[in-house]
Structure 1
Amino acid sequence: MIGGMGQQQDVDGSDRHSGSGTTTGGSVDARLALANNPATPQMRLYDLASDPSPLVRKAVAARTDAPAQALRPLARDHDRHVREAVARNTSASVGNLLRLVKDADRWVRWAVAGNPACDESVREVMAKAPDKELRGLLAEVRTLEPELAAILVDDVSPEVRERLATHTHDPDVITALMADRTVRVRKGLARNARTTAEQRSRLSRDSAVDVRAALVSTLELDEADLESLVDDRSAQVRLAMATSDLIPPHIRQALERDADESVAAAARDYGRTSTAAPTVRTPRVGHRRSGTGPAGSTTASRAARSRR
């Protein structure tokens, strides 16, 4: 697909080809400044796209005003940092994104997932990709097409289904995942603010402790469900209630008399030790902090761990 993968250059390293004989002349720093200059003419950007330095080519690849004929060869560049810059470029064509979403380098593929220029054809490739993380990043797209969400509902990976359960806004997807037999998937639903009161009530009676504990920590519940959970058989669930910012004062007061001293102490100490914190998690969009991605995008923590 992309030749020379094993000979990728590190963009932070030295430029073996700097000096004379370049397409634009001058030092690497001078050519890099030219590539970053908004006033640089389009034809000069086209020349810089074939520069010997990966630093220069990456700068061109990141420009949203770069001509299409300059980005096309950069999507096939032997340096993966250059290809990743194209994958993040919101002006990249669908054709380039379709190529890059199948790239041999995972960071290039994951960068495509965070590009708002993706259309349904690119997302369809993602839904069927062998890369579990790529499918997981797709699962976190809240406005995912119903037909693609339906594919992910049956994904072989519980992790992908969990991420879909946590982030989907589709009521049909939520209903389907309520029947999932994997605990971590139902735990994802227990964190989804789009669940109905009836679904939360069902989750409050879930057989898995982790599901009930996640529910009381993340979502507001009806009074009847809270009263039932005060007497939950699991101290872990009751402790999660005692420390949750969403629990009403009268429920926490009841927990101060809990038979488990750690629960009772947590309920009594709540006002002195708690700190306000958001209870609904921000969805991840898979790209690294280095480079430029779409507004509001963050590095997927799971992806970051796999890089180390």
Structure 2
Amino acid sequence: MSCIRFNTPAQRQAMRDHAPVMLTPEQAAALHPAPPVTDSKIARLRTLAASPNPKIRESVASSYHAPEDLFEKLAKDSDEGVRSWLARNENVSCDILRSLADDESEKVRGWLALNFFVPDDVMARLADDPDDTVRALVRWKAALASDELTNA
């Protein structure tokens, strides 16, 4: 007996009819407010950023609440996974993102190319990147932006 189930058109329509109303990000945030960022939370992030385990440092690099000096330190981390998480973090400053454009790892530069908060001058540099994949990601992101403009 197969575990795959195929819904009939009537079942699919019933699921659409009874689908929950989607909340906007603002409505969801109002219903589930984030706890305040305290000094103890920042102290924990500092402790975690010094961990010998790169996966723990990655969690700090992905944080929206880490202070700028911690992001600067993580931008120089020896592990490309840590720098990759930093490259995709939307709360990292433009100056740190600029420094990652010269990263030795094409993985880091690729994630940087996908970050929608990367300044235009960095995207122009990444468009001439030596790695084919990074250049392809820049073109793909530009095509997405172009599609958004034409569909608006």
What do residues 6-47 of structure 1 show as CA deviations (whole Å, max 9, x unaligned)?
Answer: xxxxxxxxxxxxxxxxxxxxxxxxxxxxxxxx7752133123
Q: TM-score, normalised by structure 2?
A: 0.64
What do residues 254-302 of structure 1 show as CA deviations (whole Å, max 9, x unaligned)?
Answer: xxxxxxxxxxxxxxxxxxxxxxxxxxxxxxxxxxxxxxxxxxxxxxxxx
CA deviation after TM superposition for structure 1 residue 136, in Å: 1.6
What do residues 90-132 of structure 1 show as CA deviations (whole Å, max 9, x unaligned)?
Answer: 1111122122222111211111111122011211211222222
- Is the aligned partner of 1:124 residue 2:104? no
Aligned match of 1:53: 53
CA deviation after TM superposition for structure 1 residue 168, in Å: 7.2
CA distance in 2 between counterparts of 1:135 and 1:98 reads 16
For 1:105-254, list aligned pairs within 5 A.
105-142=105-142, 169=146
Over 3 Å counting, the alpha-carbon distance change for 1:168 and 1:46 in structure 2 is: closer
Over 3 Å counting, the alpha-carbon distance change for 1:51 and 1:98 in structure 2 is: same
Q: TM-score, normalised by structure 1?
A: 0.33
CA distance in 1 between counterparts of 2:134 and 2:41 reads 36
Matched letter for residue 84 of structure 2 = E
> Whose relative contact order is higher, 1 or 2, with alpha carbons under 8 Å and at least 6 apart?
2
SS in 1 for 2:117: coil
CA distance in 2 between counterparts of 1:106 and 1:135 reads 10
Aligned pair count reads: 111
What do residues 184-224 of structure 1 show as CA deviations (whole Å, max 9, x unaligned)?
Answer: xxxxxxxxxx7xxxxxxxxxxxxxxxxxxxxxxxxxxxxxx
Conservation of the 8 A alpha-carbon contact between 1:101 and 1:110: no
SS in 2 for 1:46: helix
SS in 2 for 1:41: helix
Percent identity of equivalent pairs: 32
CA RMSD of aligned residues (A): 2.3
Aligned match of 2:104: 104
More helix by share: 2
After TM superposition, which residue ranges in structure 1, 4 or more long, deviate above 2 angstroms?
A: 167-170
Conservation of the 8 A alpha-carbon contact between 2:109 and 2:126: no
Unaligned 5+ segments in structure 2 are 1-36
CA distance in 1 between counterparts of 2:53 and 2:140 reads 36
CA distance in 2 between counterparts of 1:129 and 1:106 reads 9
Conservation of the 8 A alpha-carbon contact between 1:46 and 1:69: no
Question: Larger C-alpha radius of gyration, 1 or 2?
Answer: 1
SS in 1 for 2:146: coil
Over 3 Å counting, the alpha-carbon distance change for 1:78 and 1:168 in structure 2 is: closer
Matched letter for residue 105 of structure 2 = D
